[in-house]
C-alpha cells in the first residue's frame, strides 16, 4: 500500500492561510502526489506538535507567525541562510528518516517578488523594516545582499529592533529604532514585517516617511487591501503591495526543497489574484 507524503503549515492564527491551496496547485502542476494541511499550533505546544507530526510520518513542515524562532531552535541542522537569520519557516525530514533540517525561504521569496515579479531595483535604496520577529529575521540578509544603501528596523519593543540591528550591522548600516524616533527620516522602500495586519491594525506611522516614488510592501496578504497597503496608497506610493507574491515564491522554494521539483509560480499568483478580486 502506498502512503501519501504529508506536509503541513503550523501557525497561530492559521485559518487565513493560503498555503494548503498553493501547495495543492503546485502538486497538480508538477504531477506530485502529496497532502498539505494547515494546523493551529500555539507556541507552548510547538515542540510536541512538531515531534508528533514527524513521528507520525510527516515529511515536511512550514512554520509561520509566531513560530519561526521556535522552529529555528527545534531544527537539528540548518542551512546557512537559516543560521544567518536564526529563524526557520521550512522543516525538511532528511533521507535518514530522523534528522530534521531547518531552512528559511522567506528572504528569497521576498526578493523574487520584488525584483523579478515587480521588476524593482533594490541597490542603493534606503529601507525601513517594521517588525523584529521571525519574518524580519528572514529577509534582512537578502536585502543586504541586494546592496540596499541602509536598513532601519523599527519595532514596538525597541530592544528587539536594537538587538536585530546589532546582529546584521556590518558594511551596510543597519540601525534599530522605536516608532517615535522616525521623525525626519525618508525611505525608498517601507516593508511591514509586523503581524499588525492580521488584526487589521496599522503600526504607528506618521506621514512624510515615504520618499517620492517610494514603494510600500506588506508581508501580510488579504483579499482586501491591508491597513498598510491602504496607508501606502494614501502616501502616493509608486506601488503599495501585499505579500501574496512573496507567499507563492517562498512556498515554491519550500516545495523544491521537499520534492526536488521547482513549480512555476506566475500562473499560481495570477490565479490567486483573480480569485481575491472576485471575493473582495
Ligand atoms: P512574529 O510573531 O515573529 O513577529 C511579529 C512582529 O510584529 C513583532 O515585531 C511584533 O512586535 C510586531 N507587532 C505585532 N502586532 C503589532 C502591532 N499591532 N503594531 C506594531 N507591531 C506589531 O511574526 P512573523 O515575523 O513570523 O510574521 C510577521 C508578519 O509577516 C505576519 O503578518 C505574517 O503573516 C507575515 N509573513 C508573510 C510571509 C509571506 O510569504 N507573505 C512570510 C512571512 C511572514 P513586538 O516585538 O513588539 O511584539
CA of 134 to the centre of ligand 1 (A): 7
Tell me the pLDDT tens digit for each residue of 18-63: 999 999 999 999 999 999 999 999 999 999 999 999 999 999 999 9
68 tagged catalytic: yes
Closest ligand 1 atom to the C-alpha of 65? 26
With the most atoms of ligand 1 within 8 angstroms of its CB, the residue from 194, 218, 242 to mutate is 194
133 lines ligand 1 (CB under 6 A): yes
> Where do the structural domains in the chain lie, given as residue ranges?
5-104+245-279, 107-242
User: In this structure, which CATH number among 3.20.20.70, 2.60.120.280, 3.40.50.720, 3.40.50.1980 belongs to the domain 107-242?
Assistant: 3.40.50.720
Contacts of the segment 16-25: beta carbons below 8 A, 24+ positions apart: 16/198, 16/222, 17/64, 18/221, 18/244, 18/247, 18/272, 19/62, 19/64, 19/247, 19/251, 21/272, 22/247, 22/248, 22/251, 22/268, 22/272, 23/251, 23/255, 25/263, 25/268, 25/271
If you take atom 11 of ligand 1, which residue's CA is the nearest one?
A: 156
In this prediction the pTM is 0.96
pLDDT at 279: 64
With the most atoms of ligand 1 within 8 angstroms of its CB, the residue from 182, 195, 228 to mutate is 195
pLDDT at 219: 98
Which cell numbers hold the place of 46? 510547538
Tell me the pLDDT tens digit for each residue of 181-192: 999 999 999 999
Integer CA distances (angstroms), 269 to 2, 241, 248, 249, 257, in order: 32, 13, 7, 9, 20
CATH 3.40.50.10860 fits 5-104+245-279, yes or no: yes
Residues 221, 222, 223, 225, CA torsion sign = negative
With the most atoms of ligand 1 within 8 angstroms of its CB, the residue from 133, 176, 226, 272 to mutate is 133
Half-sphere exposure at residue 251, Cβ-oriented, CA atoms within 13 angstroms = 28
CA of 195 to the centre of ligand 1 (A): 3
106 lines ligand 1 (CB under 6 A): yes
pLDDT at 277: 74
Looking up cell 506611522 gives: 205
Averaged pLDDT score across all residues of the chain: 96
Which cell numbers hold the place of 58? 510527516
If you take atom 29 of ligand 1, which residue's CA is the nearest one?
A: 195
pLDDT at 1: 55
pLDDT at 125: 98
Chain length of the chain:
280
pLDDT at 276: 85
197 lines ligand 1 (CB under 6 A): yes
- Residue-level pLDDT, tens digit, the chain, 280 residues: 568 999 999 999 999 899 999 999 999 999 999 999 999 999 999 999 999 999 999 999 999 999 999 999 999 899 999 999 999 999 999 999 999 999 999 999 999 999 999 999 999 999 999 999 999 999 999 999 999 999 999 999 999 999 999 999 889 999 999 999 999 999 999 999 999 999 999 999 999 999 999 999 999 999 999 999 999 999 999 999 999 999 999 999 999 999 999 999 999 999 999 998 766 5
Q: Supply the Cα-derived Rg of the chain in whole angstroms.
A: 18
pLDDT at 120: 98
Which cell numbers hold the place of 24? 495543492
12 lines ligand 1 (CB under 6 A): no
104 lines ligand 1 (CB under 6 A): no
Strands 77-78 and 34-40, by their bridges, are unpaired
Amino acid at each position: 500500500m502506498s502512503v501519501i507524503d504529508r506536509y503541513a503549515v503550523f501557525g497561530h492564527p492559521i485559518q487565513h492561510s493560503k498555503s494548503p491551496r498553493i501547495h495543492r496547485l503546485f502538486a497538480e502542476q508538477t504531477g506530485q502526489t502529496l497532502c498539505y494541511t494547515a494546523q493551529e499550533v500555539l507556541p507552548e505546544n510547538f515542540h510536541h506538535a512538531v515531534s508528533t507530526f514527524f513521528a507520525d510520518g510527516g515529511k515536511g513542515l512550514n512554520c509561520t507567525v509566531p513560530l519561526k524562532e521556535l522552529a529555528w531552535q527545534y531544527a537539528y541542522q540548518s542551512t546557512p541562510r537559516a543560521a544567518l537569520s536564526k529563524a526557520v519557516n521550512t522543516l525538511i525530514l532528511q533521507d535518514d528518516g530522523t534528522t530534521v533540517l531547518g531552512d528559511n525561504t522567506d528572504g528569497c521569496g521576498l526578493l523574487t517578488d520584488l525584483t523579478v515579479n515587480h521588476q524593482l531595483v533594490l541597490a542603493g535604496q534606503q529601507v525601513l523594516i517594521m517588525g523584529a520577529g521571525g519574518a524580519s529575521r528572514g529577509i534582512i540578509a537578502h536585502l543586504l545582499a541586494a546592496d540596499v544603501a541602509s536598513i532601519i528596523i523599527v519595532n514596538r519593543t525597541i530592544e528587539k529592533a536594537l538587538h536585530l540591528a546589532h546582529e546584521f550591522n556590518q558594511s551596510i548600516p543597519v540601525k534599530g529604532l522605536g516608532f517615535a524616533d522616525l521623525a525626519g527620516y525618508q525611505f525608498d522602500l517601507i516593508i511591514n514585517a509586523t503581524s499588525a495586519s492580521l488584526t487589521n491594525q496599522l503600526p504607528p506611522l506618521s506621514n512624510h516617511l515615504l520618499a517620492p516614488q517610494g514603494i510600500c510592501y506588506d508581508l501580510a496578504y488579504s483579499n482586501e487591501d491591508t491597513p498598510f497597503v491602504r496607508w501606502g496608497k494614501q502616501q502616493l506610493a509608486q506601488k503599495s503591495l501585499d505579500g501574496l507574491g512573496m507567499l507563492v515564491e517562498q512556498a515554491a522554494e519550500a516545495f523544491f526543497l521537499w520534492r526536488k521539483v521547482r513549480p512555476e509560480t506566475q500562473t499560481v499568483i495570477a490565479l490567486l489574484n483573480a480569485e481575491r478580486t472576485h471575493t473582495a
